[in-house]
Structure 1
Amino acid sequence: MRRRSPDARKTLLTLHLVTSLGWLGADLVLLTLGVAGLRGADPEVVYPAAALLATWLFAPLSVLVWLVGVTSALLTPWGLLRYRWVLVKLVLTTAMVGLVLFLLTPNLRAAAAPDATAHERVDVVVAPAVSTALLVSMTVISTWKPWGRTRRGVAVRRTAAVTTAGRG
């Protein structure tokens, strides 16, 4: 793998941070709307606003976060499958994007309907609360970088060491 310049790596990291923070912010707005709705705010305002936010910001942003994260992993020394912490983040983010696109967004649209049930409207609190917890957990994982290399990462490292030793 060709090394990227420090500017390119910083640009990718900045883009990853900005999109991830945007996802967290949208999550917190959805959570706020959900709590407001359960506490008696006008359902004709709260739930359509949540559905609009999910459709036009949250869902596209979640896909963008996934794309930027995968690109960052592929174009930096961390790699996509070399470290367990990157793999855990990939699996969690992929699952979250799937849930946002195929479960949360349709459920929020259903919660915006005038005849929506209380059960449908609870999703506007539960889903963003779980998502926020997962995003914070992934931030901790990114900061602490626990766990070692994957088997693939160990094999790539050994291959690189043998190749480097053979050049000397």
Structure 2
Amino acid sequence: MKLSPPWRKALLTLHVVTAVGWLGVDVVLLTLGVAGARGAAPGVVYPAIGLIGLTLFVPLSVLAWLVGIVSSLCTPWGLLRHRWVMVKLIITTVMLGAVLFALMPNLRTAAELGAATPAEARTGLLMASIVSSTLLIVATVLSTYKPWGRLRRGKRLGRGPSSTENDKKGPFLTPPGRRGGEPPASGGRRAPAGRRTETAVRARTG
């Protein structure tokens, strides 16, 4: 899919906003998790973790993943052309699965129980924030440096000009003004059609 420059910039802006928001909310959860592990007002910390996680972090995780897929498909980077894009896709997909199936139950527990949140759930919230923040930073580094080059399949798909360009530039293209199978005029140049006709008439009448 090809987008016009305005739409491409709008999609890039949305991708940056969702990715930065995802990382920012994750850092907030990490800060609260560290504060809760150090015993700072569990009746305030864990309800805040549950509220922020359920209302911001989980929706941003889904939105950032979807926007990343669309951005890959609608830009020249592609989804299966470059190794760094595939690694980033794997990272974000694993993170999204962990958020939906492992983190959400602990977030609900923290939102409902508050200070009575079990120690296992508290540890799970803290470890989830550490792991997700690290993976998001790795994904950001990949987006910045774009290492490892293209995949072989991407090289085959992206190598050389397209068939349309080959048709336009092929060696068997009849030059403009020359009819198929018609040799050039003497001296390598073809005389204009009007002069050929006039010469032929004079030869016949002469």
Structure 2-normalised TM-score?
0.75
Q: Distance in 2 between matches of 1:91 and 1:116?
A: 32
Match for residue 27 of structure 1? 26
Partner SS for 1:36: helix
| Offset from partner CA, 1:17-64 (integer Å, 9 cap, x none) | 100110011101101111111111221221111111111111011000
Residue number in structure 2 paired with 1:68: 67
What secondary structure is seen at the aligned counterpart in 1 of 2:161? Answer: helix
Q: Determine if the alignment matches structure 1 residue 47 to structure 2 residue 46.
A: yes
Measure the CA separation in 1 of the matches of 2:41 and 2:162. Answer: 66
Structure 1 unaligned residues grouped into runs of 5+: none
Task: Give the Cα–Cα distance (whole angstroms) in 1 for the partners of residues 124 and 167 of structure 2.
Answer: 58
Match of residue 161 from structure 1: 161
Q: What letter matches 2:120 in structure 1?
A: H
* Structure with the greater alpha carbon radius of gyration: 2
- Stretch moving more, 108-117 or 55-64: 108-117
Q: TM-score, normalised by structure 1?
A: 0.91
Distance (whole Å) between structure 1 residues aligned to residue 137 and residue 53 of structure 2: 19
**CA–CA separation in structure 1 for the residues paired with 2:13 and 2:157:** 27
Matches within 5 A, 1:74-153: 74-112=73-111, 113=113, 115-153=116-154
Greater than 4 Å deviation, 4+ residue runs: none
User: Any stretches of 5+ residues in structure 2 without a counterpart?
Assistant: 170-206
Which has the bigger relative contact order, CA under 8 A and spacing at least 6? 1
Q: Where is the helix percentage greater, Structure 1 or Structure 2?
A: 1
- Retained in 2: the 8 A contact 1:59–1:100? yes
Matched-pair identity in %: 58
Distance in 1, Cα, partners of 2:103 & 2:167: 53
**Contact 1:82-1:153 at 8 Å conserved across structures:** yes
1:115 CA drift (Å): 4.0
8 A contact 1:108–1:123 mirrored in 2: no
Q: Is the 8 A contact 1:31 1:125 kept in 2?
A: yes
Say how many residue pairs are matched.
Answer: 166
